[in-house]
């Protein structure tokens, strides 16, 4: 995790995805780690991918749908990170920072959805 906070959601989700990749590269080579790691990689990278897709949405509703999917992916990512932490497959301090970051990203996305709905 980089020290300074990035406030552009596209860049922040990209950095988050890269941090997830770095975490996964440190995990033990086992069946359980592989299965959890694949799920985590899919959900974590889906957050940013859906934010990017929203940028080229053809309507407000489509934009909102992409952000809603990004929020669901963020919530799923929290689950997989918590599972990794509780299973002891990764260093707790590394996972805690990522859980905190995805929580902040979730709040930004949720606030954006509310803002879109109010317009």
Give the structural domain span for 104.
9-118
pLDDT range class, residue 92, cuts 50, 70, 90: confident
Average the pLDDT over 80-96 and give the result.
Answer: 92
pLDDT digits (tens, 9 = 90+) for 12-39: 999 999 999 999 999 999 999 999 999 9
Is the residue at 4 inside a domain?
Answer: no
Q: What is the pLDDT of residue 93?
A: 86
72: pLDDT strictly greater than 80: yes
Is the distance from CB of 72 to CB of 45 less than 8 angstroms? no
Question: Quick check: is 3 in a domain?
Answer: no
Write the CATH number for 53: 1.20.1440.60
Nearest to 78 by CA among 94, 101, 52: 101
In angstroms, the CA 19 to CA 94 distance is 10
- Residue count (the chain): 119
């Amino acid at each position: 995790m980089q020290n300074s906070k990035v406030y552009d959601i596209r860049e922040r989700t990209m950095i988050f995805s890269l941090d997830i990749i770095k975490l996964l590269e440190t995990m033990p080579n086992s069946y359980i780690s592989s299965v959890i790691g694949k799920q985590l990689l899919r959900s974590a990278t889906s957050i940013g991918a859906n934010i990017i897709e929203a940028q080229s949405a053809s309507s407000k509703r489509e934009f909102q749908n992409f952000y809603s999917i990004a929020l669901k992916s963020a919530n799923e990512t929290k689950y997989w990170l918590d599972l990794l932490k509780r299973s002891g497959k990764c260093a707790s301090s590394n996972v805690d920072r990522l859980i905190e970051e995805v929580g902040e990203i979730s709040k930004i996305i949720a606030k954006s959805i509310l803002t879109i709905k109010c317009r």
